[in-house]
Chain A
Amino acid sequence: MPTAGTREAERIAREAYGRLVALAASRTRDLAAAEDAIGDALVAALAQWPRDGVPDNPEGWLLAVAKRRLADQARRAAVRAAAAASLAVTAERESEDGTVIIPDQRLALLFVCAHPAIDPAARTPLMLQAVLGLDAARIASAFLVAPAAMSQRLVRAKAKIKAAGIPFAVPDLADEPERLEAVLAAVYAAFTLGGEGGGPEGSPADLAQEAIWLARLLARLCPGEPEVLGLLALVLHCEARRPARRGPDGAYVRLTDQDPALWNGALIGEAEAALREASRHGRPGRTQIEAAIQSAHASRRQTGRTPWPAVAGLYAALRRLAPTLGAAVGEAAALLQAEGASRALACLDALDEERVATYQPYWAVRAEALRGVGLWNEARAAYERAIGLTEDEAVRRFLAAERGRSLRPEALHG
């Protein structure tokens, strides 16, 4: 387990790396070369800083190491010219006393990563690699993609940035709100990998911390965009519940059964503050609604009950803005609590059969609704389908227990 100090050193190293890469890439448009030039230095920093302490001038340290490595390579073999050029434009910012002043181009880099010309499947991986310096193998595991395929996807995306001349600039968000949506979607995708906000801590799927880091960065770089604050609130609320999501024996605990005392109050407070700040702008949007849903769940910590009709209403509003399968199933789950099983079933029955075929949450909610109306055999079949579509061993066990309880009452008692 990494200690808090190790994590802090890693965070600072990645922060400095992202600034340097963003600056170099914004000048050369050659993201691959920028990563090449600074990547080795990041690896060195990740090995050294947790042990020896973080240097006073992290960017300067990385630049110095990058230059030394490049000089070594030049002696040994042909210089990687592009990497050298990349470093040169970055290094020119160094002042005489060795302090490096790095103008922050990371926001522009985030917009490049989520540019409409970039394959949507490559956007989140590109962000994680360019801005945080995560390696392709870790990203591939989190995305459940073959490492070779992920490397290829990343290489293609970087070639496209260079060849297509994608500008390193922050677009006018009033004219092009969809550009911001793409950035938010890519950050949120990192958060949701591996299920409900990342896998267990330390697992390769656990990119939740990185996603929160990106969300906080966005909120800092993009103040005044309510949807950015909405995203921050959304991921913080979900993260706050992580300690309650597993019982002491590792068993899965669903949201409605969680003990709110185990939720992280500090994260909830930060989330609520972000959401309040967002609402001051008077421009509601998809991400703010999603955060409001989580905020409604969080209110159980104070009131002792979940306002299910409000949750259902928020999901309905979300579906009007963004008709995703997740929102539809979320609404059905809320209706199940607010209005009963038959309302939930009606909502689920209206969904396209082909789209739900492999969507595990649909089958889990459907099973519970079927049980609610006393269709025992159908409920057990739906539970079985949900079990077969589950990746998580703890969820599988939970669903199997629920299926076991889905018997006609007389069968249970006698």
Chain B
Amino acid sequence: MQYMLIAYETAADCALRDGPEAPAYWGAWMAYSKAVAESGIMIGGNGLEPPATATTVRLRDGQRRVQDGPFADTKEQLGGYFIVEVPDLDKALEWAARMPCAATGSVEVRPVLPPPPM
């Protein structure tokens, strides 16, 4: 089954990206990413630029509304995602727990919706 492992990071995590801790921050994510790939379960994934770079669009009553910033202003922000192919949820949770942000932020695990039947 395919699962999306959605990484939520705290503002403090995001700040590590270009502080003095940057090598440790990126090193941990690189190592995780490699472990996923070398275990043969990687379908895809990406890191995302920080939430401040986001722009959110809504159409309401024919009106366009464009807003600076992410969809929801919360303590933890979407930092990236992996899609993995694993036998079941238990295995997906194992990989979620290994994500560097699991210790500070959180990881949401969701099954990928299979394509609709033709």
Contact = CB atoms under 8 A, between A and B. Distances in A.
Interface of A: 144-146, 149, 357-358, 384-385, 387-391, 393, 396-397, 400
Interface in B88-117: 89-90, 93-94, 97-98, 100, 102-103
Interface stretch (B23-31, B45-53, B58-66, B67-75): B23-31
Contacts of B40: 357
Contacts of A390: 98
Given A145-B89, A357-B38, 12 more contacts: A146-B89, A384-B31, A385-B35, A387-B27, A387-B28, A388-B33, A388-B34, A389-B35, A391-B97, A391-B102, A397-B24, A400-B27
Given A384-B31, A385-B34, A400-B28, A391 B89 contact: no
B102 to A, nearest CB: 7
Nearest to B33: A388
Contacts of B100: 393, 396
Contacts of A389: 35, 98
The list of the 6 closest CB pairs from A to B, nearest first, reads A388-B35, A387-B31, A388-B31, A393-B103, A388-B32, A384-B31
B93 A145 contact: yes
Chain B, interface residues (CB within 8 Å), range: 20 to 34
B51 to A, nearest CB: 23
B39 A145 contact: no
Given A144-B97, A146-B89, A385 B38 contact: yes
A384 B32 CA distance: 8
Q: Is the interface of B mostly helix, strand, loop or mixed?
A: helix
A351 to B, nearest CB: 16
Contacts of B89: 145-146, 149
Contacts of B94: 144, 358
Contacts of B33: 388
Nearest to B95: A358
A149 B93 CA distance: 12
Interface in B1-46: 24, 27-28, 30-36, 38-40
Nearest to A397: B24
A144 B90 contact: yes
Contacts of A384: 30-31, 34
A388 to B, nearest CB: 3
A385 B33 CA distance: 9
A395 B67 CA distance: 41
B34 A357 contact: no
B90 A145 contact: yes
A396 B35 contact: no
5 contacts: A145-B90, A149-B90, A388-B35, A391-B102, A396-B100
Contacts of A145: 89-90, 93
Nearest to A144: B93
Q: In this complex, which of B28, B40, B94, B100 has the most chain A Cβ atoms within 10 angstroms of its Cβ?
A: B28
A393 B25 CA distance: 11
Contacts of B32: 387-388
Q: In this complex, which of A145, A389, A397 has the most chain B Cβ atoms within 10 angstroms of its Cβ?
A: A389
Nearest to A121: B90
Contacts of A358: 35, 39, 94
A348 B89 CA distance: 30
Contacts of A397: 24
Contact of A391 (B24, B38, B98): B98
Contacts of A149: 89-90
Nearest to B109: A146
Contacts of B27: 387, 400
Nearest to A205: B97
B25 to A, nearest CB: 11
Nearest to B93: A144
A170 B14 CA distance: 56
B90 to A, nearest CB: 6
A28 B33 CA distance: 52
